[in-house]
Amino acid sequence: MSDYLLDVKQINKRFGGLHAVRDVNLQVRRGEIVGILGPNGAGKTTLFNLLTGFIPPDEGTVNFQGRSIRGLKPHKIVNLGVARTFQLCRPFVGMSVIENVLVGSLGPRVSDVDLGARAMHLLSEVGLAEKADTPSELLSYGDLRRLEIARALATDPELLLLDEPFAGLGSAEIESISALIRKLHAEKNLTILLIEHKLREFMQLVSRVVALDFGEVIAEGVPAEIVSHPRVIEAYIGKQTPEALA
């Protein structure tokens, strides 16, 4: 019986010669917003894929609410209460915004209420209510992110994994999505695990950071500590993202 909502121990994944994720340990308590930080190629999305069943881990354990979810298919993991968004938003082409959200509502966690009304409610929470009938391919990047979040919320998750929600967005959009995340966290008591490689936006949002580089955890702590952690700085300067430190 762990009081961690998500308990990941010694998780490993190799792709041929590349050790993409190496001995990663991660514990997330209910109600936290935890950030996973790291330059491109650090293994963050791979980690998400391992946690959500899209890729099987080579070694390690993944426990959610005390039970092992390692090796389960993605949809089963979602039905246990873990939802994720994708870095490259892929809406359901050919379907409207509200239809996209409706698809997320069809799982067993959602009781059979008026799904249409529930979907509209979710859309208004993320700020897409007026665009309910728009074809999803026509949305702007920022709106696509909101749609992704709405779709993930539609599954009624306890744990929400957000994969680079700010990527490709301008600072105004980032502010507003950041505010959305904070609001959802507060109102729904969601536990959130968030990947980003841009430091600034992320630091104000999360309560704790796990920093990755080359698939390994190099530092862990509150944002203030991480920003001045020598290995983290080295990881960023070593790559070419000076803007990340801004």
Partner 1 sequence: MAALGSLDKLSSTAGLVSLCLLAVLPVLVGGSYLVGVLTVAAIYGIWAVSWDFMSGLTGRENFGHSLFIGVGAYAAGFLNVQMGLGPWWSLPASMVLASFFGLLLGFPTLRLKGPYFALAMLSAAVIMQRLMLIFWEYTGGEEGIQDITPLIKNHLHYYWFVLCVLGLTTWLFAWLARSRWGLILRAIKGDEATCMAAGLPITTYKIISLIISAAFAGLGGALYAHYQLQVSPQLFAVVTSITIITMVYVGGIGTIFGPVGGALLLTLMTEGLRNFGEWRLMIYSVLLILILFYLPNGVVAPIWKKIRAMLTSSVQGTGAQRPTDKATGEA
- The number of C-alpha atoms within 13 Å of 170 and in the hemisphere containing its C-beta is 3
Shortest distance, position 104 Cβ to partner 1, whole Å = 4
Cα–Cα distance for residue pair 211/117, rounded to 1 Å: 40
Among 21, 47, 154, 205, binds partner 1 (CB under 8 A): 154
Name the segment binding partner 1 (CB under 8 A); options: 4-12, 34-42, 82-90, 226-234: 82-90
User: Are 215 and 43 in contact, with CB atoms under 8 Å apart?
Assistant: yes
Among 3, 17, 111, 133, binds partner 1 (CB under 8 A): 133
Cα–Cα distance for residue pair 6/214, rounded to 1 Å: 22
Name the segment binding partner 1 (CB under 8 A); options: 5-13, 152-160, 228-236, 238-246: 152-160
Find how far residue 46's CA is from the centre of its chain: 12
Name the segment binding partner 1 (CB under 8 A); options: 148-156, 190-198, 206-214, 227-235: 148-156
x/- track of binding to partner 1 for residues 46-75 (CB under 8 A):
------x-x------------------xxx
User: Under the criterion CB under 8 A, does residue 132 sit at the interface with partner 1?
Assistant: yes
User: Under the criterion CB under 8 A, does residue 104 sit at the interface with partner 1?
Assistant: yes
Q: Which residues bind partner 1 (CB under 8 A)?
A: 52, 54, 73-76, 78-79, 83-86, 90-96, 98-100, 102-104, 106-109, 114-116, 132-133, 135, 151-152, 154-155
